[in-house]
Amino acid sequence: MTEPQFHARRATLDDLPALRPLWEAERLDAAALEKRLKEFQVACNAEGEIVGTVALQLVQQQGLLHSEAYADFSVADTLRHLLWERIRTVGRNHSLARVWTRETSQVWRTIGFDPPDAEQLARFPADFGAADAGPLYTIKVRDDPFADMTPAQEEALLKQHLRAGSEKMRRQARLVRIFAIAAGIIMAVILGICGRYLWRYRGRQQRRGFDR
């Protein structure tokens, strides 16, 4: 027998009827997860039926893999690998440097998730919850440009980028004003030429009327 074929994609609103039973079977808060649908990726079988799902919460350059659920746990490990490849694609699109998870399946460990060291744990985003709320694993997916920076240095770099952005906006605004002034001058010249031509034309017409 051939192995079932699966594919992964982003979840859509049409997937909610299929996702709710999966979430409820895992005793997850389906009502809360519905509001976070955009975080979910789904695995489908050859018939297009959803057989697994996992979510990725994004905070700046870090992500939290959470709320995995499967319809058939005999293929769950296969689906984990498939969904992880999909998560990696999403991560690249968002320039993620690190992904975290509280999922405890051994598959995530074989993929490369390990308990964080003290330095990594210090950078765990507060938006993901308390770092000591349970088991926690992490994997680096690309080099983090902020890895060697202190929080103060990160804040200074952010302010520098904001200042650079503001200066760029000011330059663009000055260019817009210059173009507007130039356009106004050109329009005034054109109107002046047209007015002078019209004045001359009316003068000639009046002289012709007097000649008659």
Question: Above 60 in pLDDT, residue 145?
Answer: no
Contacts of 61 (CB under 8 A, 6+ apart): 94, 95, 96, 97, 98, 144, 146
Nearest to 109 by CA among 84, 134, 75: 84
Average pLDDT on 136-148 reads 77
Average pLDDT on 78-101 reads 95
Compute the mean pLDDT over every residue in the chain, rounded to the nearest whole number. 86
Using DSSP's 3-state secondary structure scheme, residue 100 falls into: strand
Are 79 and 70 within 8 A, CB to CB? yes
How far apart are alpha carbons 67 and 43 in whole angstroms? Answer: 14
Tokens 């938006």, residue located: 127
Please report which helix (H) or strand (E) contains residue 177, including its range.
Answer: helix 151-211
Question: Above 90 in pLDDT, residue 199?
Answer: no
How far apart are alpha carbons 179 and 153 in whole angstroms? Answer: 39
pLDDT tens digits, one per residue of 152-195: 655 665 667 667 667 777 788 788 888 888 888 888 888 878 87
Average pLDDT on 81-91 reads 95
pLDDT tens digits, one per residue of 46-79: 999 999 999 999 998 999 999 999 999 999 999 9
Let me know if 188 is exposed, middle or buried by CB neighbors in 10 A (0-12, 13-18, 19+). Answer: exposed
pLDDT tens digits, one per residue of 98-133: 999 999 999 999 999 999 999 999 999 999 999 988
Q: Which amino acid is at 26?
A: E
pTM equals 0.67
Strands (E), 131-189: 137-140
The two structure tokens encoding residue 67: 């709320």
- The pLDDT, as a whole number, for residue 148 is 47
Q: Write a three-state SS string for 32-87.
A: HHHCCHHHEEEEECCCCCEEEEEEEEEECCEEEEEEEEECCCCCHHHHHHHHHHHH
Let me know if 65 is exposed, middle or buried by CB neighbors in 10 A (0-12, 13-18, 19+). Answer: buried
Model confidence band, residue 2 (pLDDT cutoffs 50, 70, 90): very low
